[in-house]
Amino acid sequence: MADKENPWSVPVVVAQIPESGLHRDLEATAAERRALAGVAALRELSSASASLDLALMRGGRVHVTGRVRGKVGQTCVVTLEPVENDIDEAVDLIFAPPEQIPTLAHLIEEAAGTDTEIPDPPEPIMDGMIDLGRLATDALLLAIDPYPRKAGAVFELPQIPPDPEDHPFAALKVLKREADSPKRKKPGKD
């Protein structure tokens, strides 16, 4: 079920995944894309899609592979002009029943002491379901460039030499000069 923090929800019941596996192509609606853009603080999200394959594994685990694609509208951090970025992110995750996660996490910790490639810890299967929309959202949002730049945009510091009179104590210097000036009347004397 979609909500404010998870506007793109496509739940799949694990018990309904056939032995041969399951393929799902997802496309976010315009309303879902607007909501996702709001969650991610994007100028716009003109497309968001996923092509995912689910394969059953031993112990009730599910292997999800595929790709998530999108086109995000952001603002260049240098020029403040609109910029569009394409996202094409690979997905390769294992989902497991929550009671298996501590055991599987322990096996991953043991593998850390060896030269073998360490897999990511599994994601939990919540209430017998995997939310493919949430998975696609997470992959999409993690792939967004946090500092987008327009092609060729380079930040350059201004080449203006500093004005010696333009510093935090310049006003105090002026007041001191006025106080030391012989033309100034002393208070209380006529």
**20-30 pLDDT per residue, tens:** 999 999 999 99
Percent of residues, the chain, with pLDDT higher than 70:
77
| Mean pLDDT of the residues in the chain | 84
For the chain, helix (H) and strand (E) counts, in that order, are 4, 7
Instruction: Report residue 64's pLDDT band, with 50, 70 and 90 as the boundaries.
Output: very high
Q: List % helix, strand, coil for the chain (3-state, nearest 5).
A: 30, 30, 40
What average pLDDT does the segment 85-94 reach?
94
Residue 162 pLDDT more than 70?
no
Residue 176 pLDDT more than 70?
yes
User: Which of the pair, 59 or 4, is modelled with greater confidence?
Assistant: 59
Residue 39 pLDDT more than 60?
yes
Output the six-digit token pair for 130: 């995997």
Of 2-6, 44-48, 103-107, where does mean pLDDT reach its minimum?
103-107
What average pLDDT does the segment 109-123 reach?
66
pLDDT at residue 189, as a whole number: 55
Domain residue ranges in the chain: 11-143
Residue 47 pLDDT more than 60?
yes
What average pLDDT does the segment 143-172 reach?
75
Whether 24 and 49 have beta carbons less than 8 Å apart is answered as no
H/E stretch holding 130 reads strand 129-131
Distance CA 51, CA 25 (A): 4
Residue 185 pLDDT more than 60?
no
pLDDT at residue 107, as a whole number: 57
Residue 140 pLDDT more than 90?
yes
- Kindly report whether the global pTM for this prediction surpasses the value 0.75: no
